[in-house]
Each structure stands twice: as C-alpha cells, then as structure tokens.
Amino acid sequence: MRFRSQQCATYTRRSFLAAAGALPLAAATRTAPETRVALARCHSYGPHLVPLLGKMFDQIGGLRRLVAGKTVAVKINLTGAATIRLWHEPAETTYWTHPDVIGAAVYWMGRAGARRIRIVESFAEGTKPLEEEMLVAGWDPADLLNAAPRVEMENTGFLGYGKRYHRLMVPNGGYIYPGFDLNHSYEECDVFVSIAKLKEHVTTGITGVLKNLFGIAPCTIYGMAAGVDEPAPVPHGGRLMFHTGYRQPSRSAPQENDFNSPREEGYRVPRIVADLAAARPIHLSIIEGVETMTTGEGPWIAEGRSRKIHHVRPGVLIVGTDPVATDAVAAAVMGFDPMAERGTPPFETCDSTLELAERHGLGTRDLNRIELAGEPLRDLVFPFRAYT
C-alpha cells in the first residue's frame, strides 16, 4: 500500500527513453564540458547520506574552495504546510526537502570551514520562526543546528532578524522585474545554496534549485496582502501577484519593467524565477529525489489535474555548482528533455525556466556541455510520466 504507485508503471526505462526522446544522452557530437554534475543512487534516508554526499561534493571539486571562511545561506524547500499530506506520507517524503539531506549538507559545509551557516525559508503567513514550522512537522531543529558549528535559522518571509530589506538587482535588467527587495540573509551571505526536491511543477514544468528561489521573495512585499506603499509588517497570503500580475509589489520595491506584458502565469512565473536566480545567484545546487511525488509540487494540486499523484522512490541525489545544469540533469532523470520548449513535456503550459535562466547567463541546459560524475545518468532515469 505504501508504494502502490509502483504498480502503475507501464513502460520500461529503456522503452520510455526511446519514446520520450530524452536523448541528448546519445548525441552524436559532444562539445567540451562547461561544468560537472554528480549523481548518486540512494534508496533511503539515514546516516549513510553523510559519506555519500561527501563523496559527491568531492566529485564536483570539493566544498572547501567554495565555503571556507565564508557565510553560507542554505535555502531549503518547505513549500505549503507540514499538516498537508499525500495520503499518510509526511511532507519530507513527498514534497519537502528531507532533514537528513539538509543535515548532511550542513555537516560537510562545517567540515569545509564555513564561518557561519544560515538555513533559510519563508512562509506566506505570520512571523513564526523557521524552527517552529519544523517542530510542527515532527522534526527536531537541534539536529540541524548542531550539524556544524555556528548554524542558525531564519524565516525570511519578512524582515526576520534584519532591520531593513536589501535590494538585489537583476544584472541585465530582468524579464519581469529589474530587482527585488529581500530579507538581509540573501544579501549578507558569501555563498548561496539551494536544496530542492525532485518534483514536477504546474507553472514551471519542474521543481528544481531554480524554482526553489520563488520562495525567497518576502510576502510582506510580494504577497496578496503586501503593503501598498511600504512592506506590510506581517506576511499574509501567497505570491499571487507573481502568478497573475493583478497588482504590483509595495511601491518601495522595484516595479515591473512592462505593465503591459502578458499576465498569463505560464509566461510570468518562469521568467520571475529566472530573474530571482539572476539577482541572487546560486553557488551550490542539491536536488534530493530519494522519495518524492509525481504530477506537481504538492498534494494541493490534485484538484482538476488529469493525472493522478503518486508517491514514488526515484532513489537519486544530484549535486552541482551550475544551477541550470543541475536542473537539466534532474529533468533528464525524470524522463524529460532539458532542451524542450513550451508545448513539450514537462513545459506543456509554460515557458522553460531552464531556457530562460540559460539566456540570463546562469548556466547551460545542454547535456552535451555537462560532465557527469558518479552513477551513469542512464541508469538513474525514473520516468515520472509513466505514473499516470
């Protein structure tokens, strides 16, 4: 019963690859790789994640050169709420990044000499500490706070422990916004890490390290009840303005480049995600797909969907320094072509965040330009659309 969705698969891995065309793997011409992404098979959570992630970090060049003596911000993905479940499964095995993966990553950052590590996430409602949301989920925040020296946490959905918002601009002007006013944690860090869950997404095709940055925008400025002239004191309501453009952020923050641009969310959301990733560049990308769900980003998207949601076990970890390349490899693991354009799975109703981020100069989505380390990609492909 726990993994009954496994019975729904109708394709073998080989036949799906042939049918879906996830075949940059077999491209006839390869160019010199621009970046390296590590892959590993991992069937379960637990202490064995520590040496496994350590090996993967070594495969992409090690963490010391990246974090030694520096302040690191680690953006995790706690979208939705801990009380929302897919059947009986807890959030961390379906749509949240798992605490074992977060803890293992933090441990190695500490071992690599990070001066300070701040775990961050934002919520659409209230100003409760990040630790409190973890307690609601049944996690012990002390496990993460003690995973390395000088670890702290912050809810970045509002001012948090800061005194003012910090403005981060998109270097080339941005697709939708020229810049964003964000919590101080995103400006004060030397190194920015995104830890995401391997999932599809209704408005961006896939959830990866890029889409994870959607949550760095404070709802006091970009939420449904954002202040008109100045940020609201307390966040209330999700970032609907990002989806539909029905209003502008607080006037104290940068406004849209073009008020006449399309209001359709399949156009807006991928571009805003790319703008956020350009304004706040990602230095280390970790995607966790040990256990996850199919069809979308959380159990709440079930209503009105033609495909059922399944709890599945891809059993994979993906690590890289190029966020576009890491998401591209994740797309290939899910059975998709990372070079796909709108109208093609997984981007049937939206523009490709991978393409938009690539055009921003944030990395490459071409598998021929990505050096793969660890387990062969072909052996780890888990076709999400086979579970229908």
Q: Which pLDDT tens digits describe the chain residue by residue (388 residues)?
A: 233 333 333 333 343 344 344 444 434 355 668 899 999 999 999 999 999 999 999 999 999 999 999 999 999 999 988 788 888 899 999 999 999 999 999 999 999 999 999 999 999 998 999 999 999 999 999 999 999 999 999 999 999 999 999 999 999 999 999 999 999 999 999 999 999 999 999 999 999 999 999 999 999 999 999 999 999 999 999 999 999 999 999 999 999 999 999 999 999 999 999 999 999 999 999 999 999 999 989 888 875 556 788 999 999 999 999 999 999 999 999 999 999 999 999 999 999 999 999 999 999 999 999 999 999 999 999 999 997 6
Residue entry with tokens 């599945």: 312
Q: Look up the pTM and report it.
A: 0.91
Q: Where are the domains of the chain?
A: 43-294+320-332
CA–CA dist 108, 170 (Å, integer): 31
Return the pLDDT at 144.
98
HEC secondary structure over 170-205: CCCCCCCCCEEEECCHHHHCCEEEEEEECEEECCCE
Q: Which tokens in the block code for residue 345?
A: 């799975």
43-294+320-332 has which fold? Answer: Rossmann fold (3.40.50)
Contact present, 245 and 175 (Cβ < 8 Å) = no
Judged on CB neighbours under 10 Å (0-12, 13-18, 19+), 34 is middle
